[in-house]
Structure 1
Amino acid sequence: MNVHATLAEDTPTGLPRLNEPAPAFDALTTDGRKTNDDYKGKWLVLFSHPADFTPVCTTEFVAFADRADEFAALDTELLGLSIDSHYAHIAWMRSIKETFGVEIPFPIIADLDMKVAQAFGMIQPGASDTQAVRATFVIDPDGVLRAMVYYPMTNGRSVDEFVRLIKALQTADTFKVATPENWQPGEDVIVPTPQTAYAAEARMTEGFETKDWYFSTKSI
């Protein structure tokens, strides 16, 4: 087994796809070895960054650290990754604490052989063959990939958006609904669209806030 990161034999080839099992990994991190099994039963936000000791990545890690308690309250773990060594990660974490007064409370995968990054499609040849772009993956408690978002190497992602997205996904799962653009907790949700002509006709009298047969909302 590679000392840094390996993939399980049954990991599918090609880019990961939504609503399918996330690629399996077995990786060295700043908190010991981690595999998919360590996150069963919890939500996981796995995010990559181009390199340690870089300014944009530092701002992102500080932001994730600042919101770590909020993610934890949502039963969500955080896991970083870059194509840097285990020791570089540790040194960078110590530097962030000393320079910015922020302790990084989540592990970072050391992925020198790029196996995890390649399995998750974090390597984008149009951007770099040797660094991971700013990719973010949301994996549910069953190990299923529910969302993935890519940012260019030049621009930091919004951590607030991933907090919001976790809340929206959990709400959609719990109540079997959808959420509108920039939905925030407490706002109305979207009722599933009727699937038959009969159901569409009935929808108009079902007591929802209905704009048209296909567009109904309700409070929860």
Structure 2
Amino acid sequence: MVAQLPTPNQIEYPDSDGKPMSDNTKQFRWITTIKYNLDWLFANDENVFIAGDLLWYPVEGNPKRRVAPDVMVAFGRPKGDRGSYKQWLEGDIAPQVVFEILSPGNTTNEMAAKLAFYDRHDVAEYYIYDPDDNALSGWERLDDYLTEIPVMQDWTSLRLGIKFDLSTPAELQIYRPDGEIFLAFEQVSQRLETIVRTLSETEQALSETEQALSTAADRNHQLAAKLRELGIDPDTI
């Protein structure tokens, strides 16, 4: 008896590979920092899909060929929720930009396999950041191959427009095209709190000024009334 092969509609593509999103707090902070700052950068472009730790299946019918980039960016695909990124359902558009954040658990063989995967499946820009050593590596697609970028200091991504700065010994700095720096969530929260507090103080000052002006106007009306009682026209004074 010949076993029947499953049809494409019967093949399962799991939404999880069973692996954690990150191995430590530093890796998680960098994944979320890059992901959410890119979200804000492209917030007004409905055709830029950005995801973190989402399984990408590049080939229909082969659920074992998959990878979950720490952050990936797909231009030409609409925003929205997905359980996984099935490329054949996405106009056959591969994510053009991918980020990986290293942790002590990543092996040399694992990272070599990821580079080969991204090279094979048409990623245009690939970046690896090691937060422990503050080391950034990058590749761009030239002549149909991912080619290592020789110098990452002040490198500007062609597709994202962001610039990488390694001049600070502590950690990588990433700048938006407008020169604003990528901020971690707690930094954004602090800025928002400062803005809200400043607005509140400004509103309070305006309210106090309006109250003072109203009080002064009431006093002027009272004074004018007294003058009229004395037969004096306040408008002629």
Common fold by TM > 0.5:
no
Structure in which a larger fraction of residues adopt helix:
2
Larger Rg: 2
**TM-score normalised per structure 2:** 0.24
Larger RCO, structures 1/2 (Cα 8 Å, 6+ apart): 1
**TM-score normalised per structure 1:** 0.26
Structure in which a larger fraction of residues adopt strand:
1
